[in-house]
Amino acid sequence: MCGIAGQIRFDGRSVEREVLERMCAAIEHRGPDSRGVHLENGVGLGIQRLRIIDLHTGDQPIYNEDRSVVTVLNGEIYNYRELRERLERSGHEFATQTDTEVIVHLYEEEGPDFVRSLHGMFAFALWDERRRRLVLARDRVGKKPLFYAERNGVLSFGSELNAVMQDPELSREVDHGALDSYLAFRWVPTPQSAFRAVRKLPPASTLVMEDGRSTIAPYWSLDYGPKLEVGDLAEFHERVRSEIRAATARRLVADVPLGAFLSGGVDSSAVVAAMAESTAQPVKTFSIGFTSDGYNELPLARVVAERFGTEHHEFVVEPKAMEILPKIVRHHGEPFADSSSIPSFYVAQIARRHVTVALNGDGGDETFGGYTRYVSNMALRRTESIPRPLRRALPSLARALPRSGRVDSWPSRLRRVAFTLALDPSARYTAYMTRLNGMDRDELYTPEYRELVGASRVPDVMGVPWRESSGRSAIDVMLDVDVSTYLTDDLLVKMDIASMASSLEARSPLLDHRFMEFAASVPSHLKVRGTEKKVGLRGAMRGWVPDEVLDAPKRGFRAPIADWFREELRDYAYEVLLDPATTGRGHFRADYVRRLLDRHTAGIEDHSQGIWTLLNYELWHREFVDRGAPTALAQQR
């Protein structure tokens, strides 16, 4: 696991070593073990390496036999041994034992399409000196990030936004349309970034640049069309367990200590169960909890740890954990408001004291249907037989429903449902995902800021993948949309940034693309049925994972920010969001922000998500817009 950065110039100028070194320094936390640089003929590639495989000879950049092809890799290639054997039979000579080296040789055999042969999580840059060709690529699901900025025959790239922004020639103009999307979803959707000059390479895509011109092409997508014939449930359940075992085993290859994040939920418990079967030594597990019972999964995590005899470590997050918020903001480089980033940062810090690689349960909800919103939206589809005029009247009736101080209470859920009844399915799903903030952006924005934002791109973020989905059932369409949006731009970003901030590699067996292809072929009634979620996965885990875990209600990996903003952090929220420097930007109406704060702290409504979203927006603005060019994070610690 590493961080990569670089610049390619087709404008006749050389890449400045100082710029490349600054780009590497900005991501030194991702790979503190070594720095490598390739610099020649308008080409600069940089790598910060975290040594996982081939500790002694695997430092990058890595070259082919005559050094005409060079690459830097962030990630792991799980099938590198099979690929290496095939390439050696074809006459290729290897100088190291690292997985990275298969990239240069496989490229020689297959050209840019070689990425289809890779099984793993990765973002890499490859330079072909003879053809003067750059190839950037990102793994199928988007586990590993890749930002880039292109202008006038020059392309800069990096594993994090902070690295790319070290390029002094880049404009620092903010993309207010992207920030509008952030304020709706709490994350900036691909391919946008917070700055107009920088974009994110989409997952499962390559960017090939020759003669100063680039082309982006997809190379993979999930197909929800073909379905398994499931006759014998016992055989199906064994197939699920077998797929999880195989995906987990692929992620146990390392020359450093491994462990696992254990939340007490079904997904991470399944991964720990598979690890325990595959390793002779006790699995090292790491859990985070809260003093608020409604958010604390430590008791369930202990049940799993005891069942599998793990070496278990715990940490309880207190409200003072907000002290870590400035660090979170700096590492993300753009606004990000998933509150579970707080426990994610802490569990990564704890794990790094004991291991260099940690497996997790990310992906189970998006592959087997684990969210309550799937159940809610399936129920709402049955209301489409109600005449549209009546459905259009329901939002006004919703205002009469009792308000609640908890966003996950039944009154709050009913209000959200009523507000979305008149919408078509894709717009309803978008509204369901965005209304969680409890903010009305039409009321929040000043007229001047509304003009800066322009036409909102929010409807297309989920609307386009909804219309393009291969799913034939509503469940599969929702899963497909979540995989290409929420999973990629929220969950995977959160895990990558949190783990890499502590120089920890995170691996996700349930995001193995073969496992995901299998899950996409599972009939939708084995995902969500009535009010049951993860039907097929839970059935397969019965007898393998403790019943207490399988039968427990889903809590989610969130911080109790609703309580924090009414108690210990109440004054902090008011101070930051109503500070004259904040209101003086002219972006948001101060009276509306004060109303959100007042109604939340009084317990009338739960606006914690909206407050958290605005708080991260403001702290990001102060760090990256007010201060100008970001400095290397390594220098800020």
Distance of CA 225 to the CA centre of its chain: 25
Nearest to 47 by CA among 66, 28, 65: 28
Nearest to 262 by CA among 339, 355, 139: 355
Within 51-149, residue ranges assigned H as helices are 80-89, 101-110
- Listed in sequence order, the residues at least 6 apart from 258 whose beta carbon sits closer than 8 Å to its beta carbon are 252, 275, 284, 355, 356, 357, 358, 359
- Sort 637 into a burial class: Cβ within 10 Å, 0-12 / 13-18 / 19+: exposed
Q: How far apart are CA 133 and CA 622, in angstroms?
A: 39
* Residue found by looking up tokens 């497996």 in the block: 359
Name the residues annotated as catalytic.
2
Q: How far apart are CA 76 and CA 99, in angstroms?
A: 7
- Listed in sequence order, the residues at least 6 apart from 598 whose beta carbon sits closer than 8 Å to its beta carbon are none
- Sort 123 into a burial class: Cβ within 10 Å, 0-12 / 13-18 / 19+: buried
**Whether the bond into 191 is cis, omega within 30 of 0:** yes
Give the Å distances, CA to CA, from 334 to 6, 196, 623. Answer: 20, 12, 10
Nearest to 182 by CA among 526, 439, 364, 509: 439
Strands 258-261 and 154-158, sheet pairing: unpaired
The 3-state DSSP class for residue 476 equals helix
Residue 80 backbone phi and psi in degrees, to 5: -65, -30
Amino acid letter, residue 538: R
How is residue 112 annotated by DSSP?
G
Nearest to 521 by CA among 355, 293, 367: 367
Return the bridge partners of 284, or none. Answer: 259, 311
List the structure tokens of 185.
């979803």
